[in-house]
Chain A
């Protein structure tokens, strides 16, 4: 059974960089049929897609985040990571990692989510 687990600081100061890692277990991150995604949800609000990465390192990300996003993959550790720079209170959210089916366009496995609060 595939499992995803987010890890990283739960509190980040304004203007600093948010860093999270997703560890994939029970399957290979090098699957050719999947890519790996970050999605966030401010408390009580809508889901927002942040970006996807393929095991080769190619990415798609959301232009609404104005180039603040970096997503990278470490196949040796079966992990992928998110960096979001210059954070503000608006970046406070539950951050989820998920597996994305490249052929059918859905997120079928999700991590439990981790709350990141931006505050001084």
Chain B
């Protein structure tokens, strides 16, 4: 199985800050990586797929990059509605696997 490791597990930030979250795969996954945002009591919401493609309707302050084993999700200017937990997910091979999540908290 491909293990996905996210860091940090949590980050405290202020509105307007630039936030970067990292996801590392235990083996190469090319660009087969997606990012999701999850707020308490809600299902995850797709933000980015194939590493850097923005899902329709997602604000452009979200961006993704990377390839192989190392990937990042960047929020360029944190907004109040962005405080949430973010998950990465690989689709290079079955079983599909998720990272452990990164919680973005209000500083």
Contact = CB atoms under 8 A, between A and B. Distances in A.
Interface of A: 46-49, 52, 60-64, 96, 98, 101, 104-108, 110-113
Given A47-B44, A106-B34, A112-B43, A62 B89 contact: no
B43 A104 contact: no
Contacts, number: 60
B46 A47 contact: no
A108 B49 CA distance: 10
A62 B95 contact: yes
A110 B95 contact: no
Given A49-B95, A64-B1, A98-B43, 7 more contacts: A46-B98, A47-B87, A47-B101, A63-B1, A105-B34, A106-B91, A107-B36
B55 interface: yes
The interface size bin for chain B is: 20 to 34
Interface string B28-51: 000010101000001111100110
A105 B50 contact: yes
Contacts of A98: 43
Interface string B86-107: 0101111011111111000000
